[in-house]
Amino acid sequence: MPFNPNSRVLITGGTGSFGKAFIAEILQRYPQIQRLAIYSRDELKQWELQQLYPEQDFPQLRFFIGDVRDRDRLRRALEGIDTVVHAAALKQVPAAEYNPMEFINTNVLGAENLVQVCLDTGVNRVVALSTDKAAAPINLYGATKLCSDKLFIAANNIKGTRDLGFSVVRYGNVMGSRGSVIPFFLEKAEKGVLPITDPEMTRFNITLNEGVAMVLWALENALGGELFVPKIPSYRITDVAEAIGPSCEKPIIGIRPGEKIHEEMITASDSFTTVDLGSYYAILPSDGRLLDSYLSDGRSFTSVDTGFAYNSGSNPEFLSVEQLRELIREHVAPGFVPV
């Protein structure tokens, strides 16, 4: 169990898609938690969330308006906090190509701010959210998230004697999240046209609930230094289009700058330090110390084969058109009917 009635948790980017799902799950599973702090920079989204969780009914909630770029504000927000989930990030690939320093300031320097403040304030556990675009990145967004991942993993080297561990979870496209393809196609289907970037394109798929469950699992099981990757299915972009709008026109428009045909979460270069934990993979630091800890701790795992890579195109599990429709109805648009 990752939390108890004395737990004091903060989530950065807490008003985003993941944050809202995480908050709902925590309040359902751990209603007696002492504190759950939501840190984000959008006052409107915080106000909207406060309407769902009024103070008289949810006294354990705290709302902090702040930016991860602001180290002093982070330090104040983290006073008394023992667990941090880092979900704050700028994420839109085209916007990153046009505004690179904004993404660097938030995704890289913001991550470093959080690391330093956690070292200063008595935090015990940190789990940071990553993305499949951070594996062998070809766009600036992915590059900033790779830098962020490296900062959190390397932070374990400077924690000294502190009871503190930093880990990362990396997963694929979250079904129904803002700016993702399924909400985009649902909107475009009303006009009868679904633009396809490339008919060969594939992506990993994870639901918000699965993403939250993975973070909770990492909080409970991480020793510090792992980069966790879930075993999840892929989908073909053409199957998503068929699931949503079988009667729609589907023109091929070409991939956007910085996009890949297939995403990967574990590269062949990572295979030397990757272990299979059952439901998840873990990429461990190359110095071998964490692997030794896994062995001495009696953890069950197997090393992957040399050259192993985890790619959405070669993934053995793909969602069918009908499975996609059912997932859309369950997680994105209840009552959805293909057009």
Q: Is the pLDDT of residue 179 over 90?
A: no
Which entry of 20, 45, 91, 133 is annotated as an active-site residue?
133
Split at pLDDT 50, 70, 90, the class of 176 is confident
Give the integer Cα–Cα distance in Å for 73 and 121.
13
Whether the CB-CB separation of 136 and 100 falls below 8 Å is answered with no
Q: Structure tokens of 220?
A: 């409970």
Q: Establish whether 133 is a catalytic residue.
A: yes
Where along the chain do its domains lie? 8-172+206-231+264-309
8-172+206-231+264-309 topology per CATH: Rossmann fold (3.40.50)
DSSP designation for 305: P
Give the integer Cα–Cα distance in Å for 43 and 15.
10
Write the DSSP assignment of 119-141 as a string of letters.
HHHT--EEEEE--GGGSS--SHH
Instruction: Give the pLDDT confidence of 276-335 residue by residue, as tens digits.
Output: 999 999 999 999 889 999 998 889 999 999 999 999 999 999 999 999 999 999 999 999
Query: Global pTM?
Result: 0.94
Q: Structure tokens of 288?
A: 């071998």
